[in-house]
């Protein structure tokens, strides 16, 4: 059975004090989660991934040390393993601290830092080589959707960024569908729109690899997912969880999303 995951992408938000308060509050909530009838992890929650800014990585890891089902990663890595790249962070550094995941190809990286699929494919490869699990983000802008090009665009992002991998590699990654028009806008994709794209992505994986691989891969939805709409989105067959921005900055909201399965 594929994993259910709720991930929080804090983006460039929170002071150190606020970040620690958030994770400590979240920890208390997770600790007090009563067992459910159908536990996904030993504490009954879906897997939780946290993507704080780099500078808080160690401190967040410390809070969730030895927590089954809570993993911590970063929002980006550099495409080279090491060297004279002032200001950049390598996957080895992240892994050596205990980080396990990295976002790759978030639309904010694609748009503001001109990251294209070729570069992202390099980042995916280097992440995996260093033992980090990539969460590969894809998604269309509003004009693409309005022009009916959203399926084609997402297919291209996946073909170039992901489908060069072999079966053993690809089954370890996570895909996040984040329609750019829904990010930070309060305008969520409807559960039907999300399901339609997730089913399409799964079909692409099935066509390129196999039904079995497609069935095992986790596909997250991101874009104004919040405590109110998460349950409806997560109820869709091919939506395996969420990549949450704004609503991951408040422990109450984020925890309600975690409980939305």
Under the binding rule (CB under 6 A), the answer on residue 9 touching ligand 13P is: yes
Under the binding rule (CB under 6 A), the answer on residue 139 touching ligand 13P is: no
Residues with a known catalytic role: 106, 178
C-beta of 63: minimal distance to ligand 13P in Å? 21
Under the binding rule (CB under 6 A), the answer on residue 224 touching ligand 13P is: yes
| Footprint on residues 163-192 left by ligand 13P (CB under 6 A) | 178, 183-184
Under the binding rule (CB under 6 A), the answer on residue 43 touching ligand 13P is: no
C-beta of 223: minimal distance to ligand 13P in Å? 5
Q: What are phi and psi of 80, to 5 degrees?
A: -105, 150
| Footprint on residues 91-110 left by ligand 13P (CB under 6 A) | 106
Under the binding rule (CB under 6 A), the answer on residue 111 touching ligand 13P is: no
Cβ closer to ligand 13P: 9 or 260?
Answer: 9
**Is-contact 255 8, C-beta < 8 A?**
no
C-beta of 19: minimal distance to ligand 13P in Å? 17
Under the binding rule (CB under 6 A), the answer on residue 134 touching ligand 13P is: no
**Sign of the alpha-carbon dihedral angle for 79, 82, 85, 91:** positive
* Residue 111 structure tokens: 């748009």
Under the binding rule (CB under 6 A), the answer on residue 223 touching ligand 13P is: yes
Q: Which of 128, 244, 251, 257 binds ligand 13P (CB under 6 A)?
A: 244
C-beta of 211: minimal distance to ligand 13P in Å? 28
Under the binding rule (CB under 6 A), the answer on residue 243 touching ligand 13P is: yes
Q: Which of 46, 73, 99, 245 binds ligand 13P (CB under 6 A)?
A: 245
The site that binds ligand 13P (CB under 6 A) totals a number of residues, namely: 14
**Number of residue whose CB is nearest ligand 13P:** 245
Question: Which residue, among 188, 60, 76, 57, has the nearest Cα to 124 in the 3D structure?
Answer: 76
Q: Give me the DSSP letters along the chain.
A: -PPPEEEEE--S---HHHHHHHHHHHHHHHHTPPPPSS-SSTTSS-EEEEE--GGGHHHHHHHTTT-TTEEEEES---SSSSSS-TT---HHHHHHHT--EEEES-HHHHHHS---HHHHHHHHHHHHHTTPEEEEEE---HHHHHTT-HHHHHHHHHHHHTTTS-HHHHTT-EEEE--GGGTTTS-PPPHHHHHHHHHHHHHHHHHHS-HHHHHH--EEEESS--TTTHHHHHTSTT--EEEESGGGGSHHHHHHHHTT-
Under the binding rule (CB under 6 A), the answer on residue 193 touching ligand 13P is: no
C-beta of 121: minimal distance to ligand 13P in Å? 20
Contacts to ligand 13P by CB under 6 A: 9, 106, 178, 183-184, 222-225, 243-247
């Amino acid at each position: 059975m594929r994993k259910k995951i709720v991930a929080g992408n804090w983006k460039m938000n929170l002071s150190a004090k606020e970040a620690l308060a958030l994770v400590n509050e979240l920890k208390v909530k997770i600790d007090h989660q009563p067992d459910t009838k159908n536990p996904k992890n030993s504490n009954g929650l879906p897997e939780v991934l946290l993507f704080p800014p780099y500078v808080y990585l160690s401190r967040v890891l410390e809070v969730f040390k030895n927590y089954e089902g809570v993993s911590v990663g970063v929002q980006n890595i550099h495409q080279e393993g090491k060297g004279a790249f002032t200001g950049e962070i390598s996957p080895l550094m992240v892994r050596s601290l205990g980080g396990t995941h990295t976002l790759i190809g978030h639309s904010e990286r694609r748009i503001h830092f001109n990251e294209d699929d070729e570069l992202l494919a390099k980042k995916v490869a280097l992440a995996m080589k260093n033992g980090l699990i990539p969460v590969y983000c894809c998604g269309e802008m509003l004009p693409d959707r309005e022009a009916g090009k959203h399926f084609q665009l997402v297919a291209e992002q996946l073909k170039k960024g992901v489908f060069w991998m072999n079966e053993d590699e690809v089954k370890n990654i996570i895909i996040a569908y984040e329609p750019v028009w829904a990010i930070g806008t309060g305008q969520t994709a409807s559960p039907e729109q999300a399901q339609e794209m997730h089913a399409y992505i799964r079909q692409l994986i099935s066509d390129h690899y196999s039904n079995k691989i497609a069935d095992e891969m986790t596909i997250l939805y991101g874009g104004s997912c919040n405590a109110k709409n998460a349950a409806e989105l997560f109820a869709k067959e091919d939506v395996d969880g969420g990549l949450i921005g704004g609503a991951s900055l408040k422990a109450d909201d984020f925890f309600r999303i975690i409980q939305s399965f």
